Chain A
Amino acid sequence: MSEAKNTYRVLLPLQVDTREGGSFKQGDEFETAFTAEEEAANIANGLLEVLPSRWKVIGAQRVAETDPGDEFEAVLTLGQQQLLIDGGHIERVETPEPAAKARSRKKKEE
């Protein structure tokens, strides 16, 4: 079962340090494990925005105007995600890392 998580973009000219050890500045995008309350606070104060994620409808009911078995892209808060995941409605569609990034890493290794 997939877990609730999100990718965020820093909106304010401030540095954001995550528990995992990353540091991010305005415009940077990152994934981290906030609690639902932390996420809500960071969005409410304008520090972060949630980026859309891709989801697959795995339950019997339509979700976000999407038929069972189909996929959709949406911004869901952690709390909303968890309720939908726990209810057996959706699962996260993991998107493969972009090829461009993989190439640039390879170059560095060379």
Chain B
Amino acid sequence: MAIIVFTNALTLVNAVDLSNHCSKVTTTDERAEVDVSAMGSGFVQVTKGLGNAQIDLELLQDFAGGSVHATLSPLISSTTPIAVEVRPVNAARSATNPACLLGSALLFSYAGLDSQVGDAAKITATFKNAPGGSGMTYPTS
């Protein structure tokens, strides 16, 4: 398996391909640490609690119709779950190009403007697992 340099990742938000505006993706798939230590434990005993699945995107803002703002702004007030998917390479899913998929996600944070003078207008968006969602999955097909 080759090391990859991230140059052409795929970013899909509700099936809309925002790859050509996306500069950074971060996927998070974690479990809460629950302390179950009891008398007699020689060490802190930790087990897994609830999971947290989230995808953070950094995007170049674009207010053109059908672009970044038009895609994300309706989602912040919506409770309709949508799919958010990123892939290492903008190509079909495969064993070496698995998707990181939040099949049922809600947008919880949308920083529509977050730049200072002279900067490219980059924004961030945070998607988390929606009620009934199954967290992060990694389909290869």
Q: Which residues of A contact B (CB under 8 A)?
A: 36, 58-65, 74, 76-77, 79-80, 82-84, 86-89
Q: A60-B65, A80-B15 are in contact. List 12 more A-B contacts (CB 8 A).
A: A36-B80, A59-B70, A61-B66, A62-B17, A77-B80, A79-B80, A80-B82, A83-B75, A84-B16, A87-B70, A87-B74, A88-B65
Q: Point out the residues of chain A lying under 8 angstroms from B18, CB to CB.
A: 61
Tell me how far the C-beta of B12 lies from the nearest C-beta in chain A, rounded to whole angstroms.
8
Residue A80 contacts which of B20, B65, B70, B80 (CB distance < 8 angstroms)? B80
> Can you list 7 A-B contacts with CB-CB less than 8 angstroms, sorted by A residue number?
A59-B70, A61-B17, A63-B17, A80-B15, A82-B80, A86-B74, A89-B16
Residue A65 contacts which of B17, B70, B81 (CB distance < 8 angstroms)? B17
Task: Answer whether A60 and B64 are a contact pair too, CB < 8 Å, given A87-B74, A89-B16, A89-B71.
Answer: yes
* Interface contact A61-B67, CB-CB below 8 Å: yes
* Interface contact A64-B67, CB-CB below 8 Å: no
Q: Point out the residues of chain A lying under 8 angstroms from B16, CB to CB.
A: 59, 61-63, 84, 87, 89
* Interface contact A63-B65, CB-CB below 8 Å: no
Residue A60 contacts which of B14, B15, B67, B80 (CB distance < 8 angstroms)? B67
User: For window 101-123 of chain B, which residues contact chain A by CB distance below 8 Å?
Assistant: none
* Interface contact A83-B78, CB-CB below 8 Å: yes
Tell me how far the C-beta of B14 lies from the nearest C-beta in chain A, rounded to whole angstroms.
6
* Interface contact A61-B71, CB-CB below 8 Å: yes
Q: Point out the residues of chain A lying under 8 angstroms from B75, CB to CB.
A: 83
Tell me how far the C-beta of B73 lies from the nearest C-beta in chain A, rounded to whole angstroms.
8
Give the interface size bracket for B toward A: 10 to 19
Q: Point out the residues of chain B lying under 8 angstroms from A65, CB to CB.
A: 17
* Interface contact A87-B66, CB-CB below 8 Å: yes
Q: Point out the residues of chain B lying under 8 angstroms from A62, CB to CB.
A: 16-17
Tell me how far the C-beta of B114 lies from the nearest C-beta in chain A, rounded to whole angstroms.
21
Q: Point out the residues of chain A lying under 8 angstroms from B78, CB to CB.
A: 79, 83
* Interface contact A59-B65, CB-CB below 8 Å: yes
Task: Answer whether A80 and B14 are a contact pair too, CB < 8 Å, given A86-B74, A87-B74, A89-B71.
Answer: yes
Contact with A along B59-102 (1 / 0, CB 8 A): 00000111100110011001011100000000000000000000
Q: Point out the residues of chain B lying under 8 angstroms from A77, CB to CB.
A: 80
Residue of B nearest to A86 (CB): B74
